[in-house]
Amino acid sequence: MKFVVGILFLLFSFQKPLAQSPTFIGDSLDKYIQKGMADWQIPGLSIAIVKDGKTVYMKGFGERNTTTHAPVTEHTLFMIASNSKLFTGTAIAQLEHQKLLSLNDKIIRYFPDFKLFDSLTTQQVTIRDMLSHRIGTKTFQGDFTFWNGKIGRREIMQKMRLLKPTGLFRQDFGYCNSCYLTAGEIIPVITGKPWEVYVYDSLLMPLGMKNTHTLVTGMNQRPNVAKPYTTSFTGKITELPYDQVDNLGPAGSMVSSVHDLSKWLIMQLDSGRYEGRTILPWQVIQKTRDVNITLSSRLNTNTSSHFTGYGLGLFMTDYFGKQVFWHTGGAFGFVSNTCFVPEEKLGIVILTNNDNQSFFEILRHQILAAYMGAAFIDKHTEAYKHFREMEDRKLAGINAYDKRIQQLKEPPLSLIAYTGKYVHPLYGTIHIVKEDRDLMIKFDGHRQLSARLQYMDNEEWRLSYSNPAFGIFSVKFKTQQQQVVSIDIPVNDFVEYDPYTFRKQ
| Beta bridge pairs of residue 422 | 430, 504
Are residues 363 and 446 located together in one domain of the fold?
no
Residue 6: the pLDDT is: 45
- Partnered with residue 239 across adjacent β-strands are 229
In a domain, 179, yes or no: no
The enclosing domain of 304 has a CATH number of: 3.40.710.10
Between residues 39 and 377, the one the model is more confident about: 39
Nearest Cα neighbor of 451 from 477, 460, 442 is 442
Query: Which residues on neighbouring strands pair with residue 222, listed in sequence order?
Result: none
Rounded Cα distance between 395 and 216, Å, is: 31
Q: What is the pLDDT of residue 502?
A: 98
pLDDT interval class at 374 (50, 70, 90) = confident
Q: For residues 479 and 482, what is the distance between their CA atoms, to the nearest angstrom?
A: 6
Residues 319, 462: one domain? no
Residue 274 lies in a domain: yes
Which strand (E) or helix (H) includes residue 87?
A: helix 85-97
144 located within any domain = no
Q: Is the dihedral of CA 132, 45, 219, 232 positive or negative?
A: negative
- The residue with greater pLDDT, 300 or 74, is 74
Write out pLDDT tens, residues 303-327: 678 899 999 999 999 988 899 999 9
* Residue 471 in this model has a pLDDT that exceeds 50: yes
Check if the beta carbon of residue 53 is closer than 8 Å to that of residue 341: no
First to last CA, the chain: 33
Report yes or no: 330 and 4 within 8 Å, Cβ to Cβ. Answer: yes
Pair 290, 369 in one domain: yes
Q: What are the tens digits of pLDDT across the range 430-461?
A: 999 999 999 999 999 998 999 999 999 999 99
Residues 437, 346: one domain?
A: no
Residues 352 and 232 in one domain: yes
In this structure, the answer to whether residues 263 and 311 fall within a common structural domain is: yes
Residues 492 and 411 in one domain: yes
Domain interval for residue 308: 7-83+212-389
Instruction: Say yes or no: 457 and 329 in one domain.
Output: no
Average pLDDT of span 365-372? 92
Phi, psi of 362 (to 5 degrees): -55, -45
Given this model, what pLDDT does residue 22 score? 78
Q: Which one is predicted more confidently, 18 or 182?
A: 182
pLDDT score at 16: 38
The pLDDT score that the predictor gives to residue 303 is: 65
What is the pLDDT, as a whole number, of residue 229?
98
Residue 149 is assigned to a structural domain of this protein: no
pTM of the model: 0.94
Q: What is the pLDDT of residue 377?
A: 86
Cα angle 462, 463, 468; round to 5: 125
pLDDT at residue 23, as a whole number: 86
- Whether 384 and 423 share a structural domain: no
Q: Among 331, 357, 389, identify where a domain stops.
A: 389
CB under 8 Å to 288, separation ≥6 — which residues?
Answer: 86, 89, 90, 93, 311, 312, 313, 314
pLDDT of the residue at 10: 36
Find the CATH number of the domain harbouring 417.
Answer: 2.40.128.600
Interatomic CA distance for residues 41 and 491, integer angstroms: 23
Provide the percentage of residues in the chain whose pLDDT is more than 70: 95
- C-alpha–C-alpha distance, residues 197 and 195, integer Å: 6
pLDDT classification of 3: cutoffs 50, 70, 90: low
Q: Is residue 68 part of a domain?
A: yes
Q: Are 239 and 267 within one domain?
A: yes
- The whole-number pLDDT of residue 96 equals 98
Residue 49 inside a domain? The answer is: yes
d(CA 92, CA 277): 21
Where does 71-176 have alpha helices with state H? 85-97, 107-110, 119-124, 127-131, 143-146, 153-159
What value, to the nearest 5°, has the Cα angle with vertex 376 and ends 371 and 382?
120
Please report whether residue 489 resides in a domain: yes
97: in domain: no
Contact 450, 465 (CB under 8 A): yes
Q: Is the pLDDT of residue 140 over 60?
A: yes
| End position of a domain, from candidates 389, 415, 433 | 389
How many domains is the chain partitioned into structurally?
A: 2
**Residues 422, 496 within the same domain:** yes
Mean pLDDT of 39-66: 97
Q: pLDDT tens-digit profile of 5-28?
A: 443 433 333 333 333 447 889 899
Q: Which of 75, 64, 374 is nearest to 227 (CA)?
A: 64
CA atoms within 13 A on the CB side of 130: 33
Helix (H) or strand (E) holding 381: helix 379-405
Give the end of a domain, one of 389, 419, 438: 389
Whether residues 279 and 306 share a domain: the answer is: yes
